[in-house]
Amino acid sequence: MRALLGRFAGRFTLTLLLVVLEAAGWILFPLVIGRAIDAVLSDTLRGLIELGVLGTVTMAIAIVRRLVDSRAYARIYTTLGQEMVVDAAEHSTSTKTARLGMLREIVEFFENSLPQLINSALGLVGTVLILSVLNLPVFIGCLAVSLVTVTLYALTGKLTTRYNEGLNDEHERQVDAVDSGDPVRVARHIRRLMRWNIRLSDLEAANFGINWVFMLGLLVFAVTAAAQSTAEYGAVFAIVMYVFQFIEAMLALPFHYQQWLRLREISGRMAVVGGD
List of domains in the chain: 2-267 (1.20.1560.10)
Contact between 80 and 102 (Cβ < 8 Å): no
Does the pLDDT at position 272 exceed 50?
no
Rounded to two decimals, the pTM is 0.60
Lowest mean pLDDT of 7-16, 122-131, 209-218, name the range.
Answer: 7-16
Phi, psi of 181 (to 5 degrees): 70, 10
**Which pLDDT belongs to residue 26?**
81
The mean pLDDT of 147-171, rounded to a whole number, is: 84
Residue 239 confidence (pLDDT) above 80: yes
Query: What residues contact residue 169 under an 8 Å CB cut-off, 6+ apart?
Result: none
C-alpha radius of gyration, the chain, whole number: 23
Q: How many residues does the chain have?
A: 276
SS3 state of residue 276: coil
pLDDT digit string (tens) for 72-91?
A: 777 777 776 666 666 655 66
